[in-house]
Amino acid sequence: MCCLPTPIHRLDWLSGRLQVDLWIKRDDLTGFAFGGNKGRKLEYILADAIASRAEVITSCGASQSNFVRQLGAACARFGIECHAAVMDCPYEGIPGEGTRLLNHSGNILLDHLFGVKLHRYADSTWDDLYARTEEISKSLEKSGKRVYRVPVGGSCPLGAYSFWEAARELRAQTQDRFDYVVMASSSGSTHVGLHAGLKDWANVIGIAADPEPEIVEDFAELSQGLSLLYPSIPTLSAGEFELKGSYVGKGYSILDEVTLATIMLVAEEEGIILDPVYTGKAMTGLMDLVQTGEIGGRILFWHTGGTPTVFAVPKWPGDGS
């Protein structure tokens, strides 16, 4: 499904502006169904689902989930039915308040085109969303279907494994190491796989998309799962993950002005589209970490995709329409 390896190239304008040597890994160009980091995970997850003769795949996420969109396309490709439980802005603890993405257009339109069966619920906690997803799986099983369950964001050990492989892909693309690799981090398999695969080679920094510092405990658990699957891959403890929580803004999938300004700057100066939920926040974090002197030198920004959600931003600054 994916077009690999994805290219890496230098960001000349931003390098000059930030006075660093800044490069980008273009996982927005994984190719399949508008690209993004989830395509890598799905290569392995779909292979496993097909091997277990799944008739239906169930998963969940935000309504504008990039994972559900790419999963839906992969299921279409292999003739598997796809069901996803979604809420516009699921939350941990207290709901995030602020401007939201539109609940049509963007990924939701694409889900529709791929034939995903979306089960939409009013906003509630992530745990409620997981419980709904399990209800859907159980009722499909009751009707006699063989169901394959995929956790939110594709963050199962196989998903993390795909990013261990992606780390090898990057290392084969460049003679020189990077001082830092920075990317958006949420359900964890991107962060876990890259950290494991780049541990001895670069400092990996995740910029959180969720206001949940404890999420690193889930990352450690995922890392254990990955090592169980492939014992040669080192297990990482919660304390080893560098996850920066200061750029989330008002909550998961809640829009903020700073992020939109970053997206517009990178679009105008580099011709590259970032997204409002993950990569826009991650680039805001990268620029701030450079400006405060926390990171520097040769830096790689891992673009994880998400670009369809720019069409679900209700209003861009300066847009009179």
Ligand X SMILES: *Cc1c(COP(=O)(O)O)cnc(C)c1O
Question: What phi and psi values does residue 133 have, to the nearest 5 degrees?
Answer: -60, -40
| Residue among 80, 97, 79 nearest 88 (CA) | 97
For position 37 contacting ligand X by CB under 6 A, the verdict is: yes
82 strand-pairing partners = 57
Give Cα separations from 68 to 73, 107, 235, 304 (angstroms). 9, 8, 28, 15
Q: How far is the CB of 38 from ligand X (least distance, A)?
A: 6
For position 63 contacting ligand X by CB under 6 A, the verdict is: no
For position 190 contacting ligand X by CB under 6 A, the verdict is: yes
Residue nearer to ligand X on the CB measure, 180 or 278:
278
Of the candidate residues 58, 63, 64, 66, the single one contacting ligand X (CB under 6 A): 66
| Residues 50, 121: Cα–Cα separation, whole Å | 29
Of the candidate residues 6, 59, 133, 155, the single one contacting ligand X (CB under 6 A): 155
| Residues 305, 158: Cα–Cα separation, whole Å | 20
Binding span for ligand X by CB under 6 A among 14-22, 31-39, 80-88, 229-237? 31-39
For position 36 contacting ligand X by CB under 6 A, the verdict is: yes
Residue 220: count of CB within 10 angstroms of its CB: 18
| Residues 207, 274: Cα–Cα separation, whole Å | 14
61: left (phi over 0), alpha (psi -120 to 50) or beta: left
The contacts found for 12-17 with CB under 8 angstroms, 24 or more apart, are 13/269, 13/270, 14/266, 14/269, 14/270, 14/287, 17/269
Of the candidate residues 39, 96, 151, 153, the single one contacting ligand X (CB under 6 A): 153
Residue nearer to ligand X on the CB measure, 136 or 310:
310
| Residues 309, 254: Cα–Cα separation, whole Å | 12
| Residues 184, 285: Cα–Cα separation, whole Å | 9
For position 262 contacting ligand X by CB under 6 A, the verdict is: no
For position 90 contacting ligand X by CB under 6 A, the verdict is: no
Of the candidate residues 90, 188, 249, 280, the single one contacting ligand X (CB under 6 A): 188
Annotated catalytic, 321? no
Of the candidate residues 67, 91, 161, 252, the single one contacting ligand X (CB under 6 A): 67
Of the candidate residues 25, 83, 191, 281, the single one contacting ligand X (CB under 6 A): 191
Residue nearer to ligand X on the CB measure, 185 or 262:
185
| Residue among 196, 209, 178 nearest 241 (CA) | 196
Binding span for ligand X by CB under 6 A among 50-58, 114-122, 184-192, 248-256? 184-192
**Rounded-to-5 percentages of helix, strand, coil across the chain:** 45, 15, 35
Residues 268-307, one symbol each (x = binds ligand X by CB under 6 A, - = not), give -------x--xx------------------------xxx-
Residue nearer to ligand X on the CB measure, 140 or 205:
205
Active-site residue identified among 59, 63, 65, 223 = 65
The residue ranges that bind ligand X (CB under 6 A) are 36-38, 66-67, 153, 155, 184-191, 275, 278-279, 304-306
Residues annotated as part of the active site: 65
